[in-house]
Amino acid sequence: MGADRVFAYGATAGLLGDLILGDPRRGHPVAVFGRAASAVERALWRDHRGWGALHTAVCVGGTVATAALAAAAVRRSRAASVALTAAATWTVVGGTSLAREARTIGRALEAGDVEGARARLPHLCGRDPQALDADGIARAVVESVAENTSDAVVGALVWGAVAGVPGLLGFRAVNTLDAMVGHKSPRHRRYGWASARLDDLAGWPGARLTAALAAVAGGDPRGAVRAWRADARKHPSPNAGPVEASFAGALGVRLGGTLSYGGRVEHRPVLNGSGRAVRTEDIERAVRLSRRVSWLALGTCVTARLLCARARRATARTKGRTA
């Protein structure tokens, strides 16, 4: 069994594991990585980009190297290779947890429990919940579902298709580091610069694939493409922009506008200005769209890897005949 089929079977099993089981209940490897990265930060922190770049290199490089060693150790066993890929996929994707949190907030809003929804919102995103009414909370949830479909599922599958287990775990390491130090706080403005830029680079292909699949899987493909082309560049994030704009067009809603992070108010451009305001019921629609995008992404990544492997084998046979 080649590496292409190992990825196909392992990634499918891992995504099914996430669907059925959700995230690991205890000792989540991402949490373990977070504690290790915090320890590295305590040892290395200086208010300097160079030290931050070293932090990024140690954490991401160590993760990728460990994953590569693990993959090499089981390479001779097809079953073990598939199992390792499945475990890695299950570990790094978070579609079920994303859907669960979004639906929990949606149910609170449907019941009129705005305070309960505010209390739950920090589990999903970093916005200041006290500044939001019911519609504002619903909009925040839809935007978070869109962005995290790329960050928590599609991006990982893309890098898994490119580099197997090291790609899966490496992408999650990059994404987690960005969440930890990539924000523009006084402590991390310089120190987190490398992590933030690396996350932009690593997230670029997954974000574009997510936006394209949202257009395919949503209820208004033309509207999704139109919003993506017209509004994505207005967003301050090069990767969240295409994803949120495409989701907005696919769902027929407006995203963006005024929001607050850590007491800091931001006035972001409106995405899909021709859409209507987000309502509570749009949370479930966004979750369902996220699910469809995730499975389409798996199919796309598996197909691309199988086709590339077939092309490489055909090229090798051609070279062998002409040698």
What would the two tokens of residue 124 be? 């999903």
What is the model's pLDDT at position 263? 61
Cβ contact 285:259 at 8 Å = no
Domain that includes residue 273, residue range:
3-322
The residues that bridge with 260 in the sheet, in sequence order, are 265
Number of structural domains in the chain: 1
Residues of the chain with pLDDT under 50: none
Q: What is the DSSP string of 102-129?
A: HHHHHHHHHTT-HHHHHHHGGGT--B-G
What would the two tokens of residue 9 be? 């079977």
Residue 248 sits at φ, ψ, to 5 deg, of -60, -45
Buried b (16+ CB within 10 A) or exposed e, 294-312: bbbbbebbbeebbeebeee
Three-class DSSP category at 249: helix
Nearest of 160, 101, 125, 145 to residue 297 by alpha carbon: 160
pLDDT digits (tens, 9 = 90+) for 267-279: 788 999 999 999 9
- Going by the DSSP 8-state scheme, the letter that residue 264 receives in this structure is E
- Going by the DSSP 8-state scheme, the letter that residue 278 receives in this structure is P
What is the model's pLDDT at position 262? 61
Helices (H), 122-192: 134-149, 155-181
Separation between Cα atoms, residue 90 and residue 94, nearest integer Å: 8
Please report, as a single letter, which amino acid is at residue 20.
I
**Alpha carbon 168 to chain centroid distance?**
11
Buried b (16+ CB within 10 A) or exposed e, 222-244: ebbbbbbeebbeebebebbbbbb
What is the model's pLDDT at position 260? 67
pTM of the predicted structure, to 2 decimals? 0.94
